[in-house]
Chain A
Amino acid sequence: MEAPGSTGRTGLAGLPGELQHMSIWTDELVARSGLRVIDMPFVTVGGGLGSFVMVDYLRIAGVPAGHIRTLTVNDHPWQNYEYLLASSQVTRDKRIRSDSSSTLDNIWGFPGYAIRESFAARSLRGFIAPLWNVLTENVLCDYWTPTSGQVFRSMQREGDRIDYWSTLALGRAHVTRRRHGGGYFTVLTQADGEDVAYRSSYVHLAVGYPGLAYLPDLVAYRHRFGDTHRVVNAYEPHEHVYEELNRRGGTVIVRGAGITASQILDRLISDKERLGTDVTIIHLFRTYVEGAHGPSRFLRRRGEYGWAYQGFNWPKSTWGGQDKNRVRRSEGEAREKWLRTLGGTTTPRRKRWQRMLERGRRQGFYRMHVGEVLEVVPGGLGVVVTRLKPDDPSVRPLELESNFVIDATGLEADIAEHTLLADLLQHTGARRNLLGRLDVEPHFEVRGSRAEPGRLYAVGVATLGGYLAGVDTFLGLQIAALEVCDDLARQGFCKFIGVRRSITQWWKWALGRQP
């Protein structure tokens, strides 16, 4: 799932043969290849939210901006995130899915987004509403969550304060290889086409989603019939679907039961009710959640009408409580099992969505079906037919006709789809964990990749299955950054953020002064 500007894979075309085949590079080898070498103590690859919070921590831990380079195709860190949000119908005024204290611009989570929104309000109601919500959240109401606009504006301010922008080195990073004598080389194809090699002690990988994956039956459909118009993925632009439905009405199938499916349904139903169009929505569930579910009385998650409900994509305590400890302390298959119990597809139980779907069920424009898809084939003009696998093979499969199919299942591509990660698995000693992602230590060092005294770290969705459940979340990225920062402090690269530094740095943050 990457922005269009960032999907072009130049591959390793520019890498001289000798370098291509050597897993460990010497300085002489690189010099002979003609690559320009740039020395830089710390390099982070990605330049998305994960890189941003890492740089923020390091700056606060006393590292000068001049010792950090962010190798990225983006000129601002929320670029890819905002692109994915926009496709899945979350514009800047809409609320996202993380809590008030998951503040990307502030490592302490204080003041949280809610209190800031409250103090910026111009009415008494606007002042009280966010505070009342955080006070009663997850009891009387769903969690309070910030708008993406607020998140981006505050990141811009923090970026200015810590001089994030001066760390940017624009281009696409292709490989990170170990260096003979310690540390790493990371090859970047700059915007002007020149390849350069960053020689660094530390490398931090925050490359986000390796790519977009489709449901196999939809891939088969797109391949066989060459139609990318009627069958779309929720994470790529698909405005034409809404435009056509708004113009002519029609039927649309939505697949998936996560927050993105909720957002898509929100858009479909809002449009329909606003314009009074004749649109029917068929929501196709693979598994239908009938009610509260879970292995025991102490592990029971709410659910109804097909959905499993949860405020965030992991239970709250996975970021800093009992579940965090449980995941942190388990190994191998036990951890995998825990993660499967705690994880799964969920959506928040927002009042607005509850009411919308209730209206839809009552008025009959929102229908639910449960089943496994056998295949998707073209029907009459402008129609796609989805065939469901019957329980009894002798019965004819149920056929659902629609004008569009929106895949909101949010499947992720394999990490080896990403050039740099694939190369890492091949040449750097990195391995996969039981969930098939990069195997990392509790402090996010990539196992097997060490080049003493250097360290290679990875964060984000590529490390799912490790010692932290919510790696692909704002707070998870911050926890990871703190772990890395503490590990770097142990190496003597930065200062340890203890009580005193924490207080003085927070004060500087509050005054808007440089760290």
Chain B
Amino acid sequence: MTSTYFGRVQTRLFLVFTVGLLWTLVLTPFLSLPDDDRYKVTLTTLAWVAVLGVFVWEPIWHLLQQFRWEKDWPAIYLLLQAVPEAVLVRVVLDRILDASGPVGVGTFALHFATTWLAIFLFVQGPMRVPFLRWRFRGGRIL
């Protein structure tokens, strides 16, 4: 991808709240989570992926992109980026999430990883079907 900063932000917000949300809604009933707070846990996770992404990670990734001659962001980076992002979301959730039972690391990882993968696969191609101009506009939708 060859995003601009605003393109990164728009693409992230759009994908987290479409593909990411859809996948989360489908997956949540099958995760081992405290029954009363299932959706609270997964949806809060999703929201923090968006918030930390916009304010912490995208500025960092965009800064690193400046050191690349082509001003591109290779697919593998987009995939690997998930690792530090997941760690930070988990740290934040540990502090602020007030759920009726514990959320295992495995459960969190499963939710995070599969959601990330769904978004990753969507962005590699299907995204361009509804948004023909998206790839020529640095990832901006609007």
Chain A positions within 8 Å of B, measured between CB atoms, are 101, 107-112, 115, 134-140, 294, 297-302, 310-311, 315-317, 319-325, 479, 482, 497, 499, 502-503, 506
Chain B positions within 8 Å of A, measured between CB atoms, are 1-4, 7, 65-67, 69-72, 74-77, 79, 125-126, 128-133, 135-139
A320 interface neighbour in B74, B75, B125, B136, Cβ under 8 Å: B136
Min Cβ gap A60→B in Å is 9
In the bound complex, do residue B132 and residue A315 qualify as a contact, i.e. CB atoms below 8 Å apart?
no
Query: Knowing A298-B67, A319-B2 touch, does A499 contact B131 (C-beta < 8 A)?
Result: yes
In the bound complex, do residue B71 and residue A320 qualify as a contact, i.e. CB atoms below 8 Å apart?
no
A325 to B137, CA, bound (A): 8
In the bound complex, do residue A139 and residue B71 qualify as a contact, i.e. CB atoms below 8 Å apart?
no
Complex interface: chain A residues within 8 A of B131 (CB): 499, 502
Min Cβ gap A358→B in Å is 23
In the bound complex, do residue A300 and residue B69 qualify as a contact, i.e. CB atoms below 8 Å apart?
yes
In the bound complex, do residue B72 and residue A316 qualify as a contact, i.e. CB atoms below 8 Å apart?
yes
Complex interface: chain A residues within 8 A of B129 (CB): 108, 110, 502-503, 506
Complex interface: chain B residues within 8 A of A101 (CB): 125, 128, 135
Q: List 20 other contacts, CB 8 Å, given A139-B74, A502-B130.
A: A109-B128, A110-B125, A110-B128, A112-B125, A135-B79, A136-B75, A138-B72, A316-B2, A316-B72, A317-B70, A321-B1, A321-B3, A321-B7, A321-B138, A322-B4, A324-B136, A479-B136, A482-B132, A502-B132, A503-B129
The secondary structure that dominates the B interface is: loop
A320's nearest neighbour on chain B, judged by CB, is B136
Complex interface: chain A residues within 8 A of B137 (CB): 320
A297 to B64, CA, bound (A): 12
In the bound complex, do residue A140 and residue B76 qualify as a contact, i.e. CB atoms below 8 Å apart?
yes
Complex interface: chain A residues within 8 A of B2 (CB): 316-317, 319-324
In the bound complex, do residue A299 and residue B74 qualify as a contact, i.e. CB atoms below 8 Å apart?
no
In the bound complex, do residue A499 and residue B138 qualify as a contact, i.e. CB atoms below 8 Å apart?
no
Complex interface: chain B residues within 8 A of A323 (CB): 2, 71
In the bound complex, do residue A108 and residue B132 qualify as a contact, i.e. CB atoms below 8 Å apart?
yes
A482 interface neighbour in B70, B72, B76, B136, Cβ under 8 Å: B136
In the bound complex, do residue B69 and residue A315 qualify as a contact, i.e. CB atoms below 8 Å apart?
yes
Complex interface: chain B residues within 8 A of A315 (CB): 69-72
A132's nearest neighbour on chain B, judged by CB, is B76
A300 to B70, CA, bound (A): 9
Q: List 16 A-B contacts (CB under 8 A).
A: A108-B129, A109-B125, A110-B128, A111-B125, A136-B76, A138-B70, A298-B67, A310-B69, A315-B71, A316-B72, A317-B2, A317-B71, A321-B7, A321-B138, A322-B2, A322-B138
In the bound complex, do residue B138 and residue A301 qualify as a contact, i.e. CB atoms below 8 Å apart?
no
In the bound complex, do residue B75 and residue A109 qualify as a contact, i.e. CB atoms below 8 Å apart?
no
Complex interface: chain A residues within 8 A of B71 (CB): 315-317, 321-323
Please give me the 10 A-B residue pairs with the lowest Cβ-Cβ distance, nearest first. A321-B2, A110-B125, A317-B71, A317-B2, A316-B70, A316-B72, A320-B136, A315-B70, A322-B71, A108-B128
Min Cβ gap A136→B in Å is 5
Min Cβ gap B8→A in Å is 10
Query: Knowing A299-B69, A320-B138 touch, does A137 contact B125 (C-beta < 8 A)?
Result: no
Min Cβ gap A160→B in Å is 22
Min Cβ gap A349→B in Å is 12
Min Cβ gap B134→A in Å is 8
Query: Knowing A110-B125, A134-B75, A320-B2 touch, does A311 contact B70 (C-beta < 8 A)?
Result: yes
Query: Knowing A137-B74, A322-B2 touch, does A497 contact B132 (C-beta < 8 A)?
Result: yes
Query: Knowing A112-B125, A311-B70 touch, does A319 contact B76 (C-beta < 8 A)?
Result: no
A443 to B74, CA, bound (A): 29
A294's nearest neighbour on chain B, judged by CB, is B69
In the bound complex, do residue A317 and residue B136 qualify as a contact, i.e. CB atoms below 8 Å apart?
no
Min Cβ gap B54→A in Å is 18
Complex interface: chain A residues within 8 A of B138 (CB): 317, 320-322, 324-325
Complex interface: chain B residues within 8 A of A317 (CB): 2, 70-72, 138
A418 to B66, CA, bound (A): 41
A298 to B65, CA, bound (A): 9
Complex interface: chain B residues within 8 A of A138 (CB): 70, 72, 74
A482 to B69, CA, bound (A): 27
In the bound complex, do residue B74 and residue A110 qualify as a contact, i.e. CB atoms below 8 Å apart?
no
A246 to B59, CA, bound (A): 57
A457 to B69, CA, bound (A): 32
Complex interface: chain B residues within 8 A of A115 (CB): 125
Complex interface: chain A residues within 8 A of B74 (CB): 136-139
B120's nearest neighbour on chain A, judged by CB, is A135
Min Cβ gap A2→B in Å is 29
A101 to B129, CA, bound (A): 12
A323 to B68, CA, bound (A): 12
Complex interface: chain A residues within 8 A of B132 (CB): 107-108, 482, 497, 502
In the bound complex, do residue A297 and residue B76 qualify as a contact, i.e. CB atoms below 8 Å apart?
no
In the bound complex, do residue B133 and residue A482 qualify as a contact, i.e. CB atoms below 8 Å apart?
yes
A302's nearest neighbour on chain B, judged by CB, is B69
In the bound complex, do residue A321 and residue B72 qualify as a contact, i.e. CB atoms below 8 Å apart?
yes
A298's nearest neighbour on chain B, judged by CB, is B66
Min Cβ gap B117→A in Å is 12
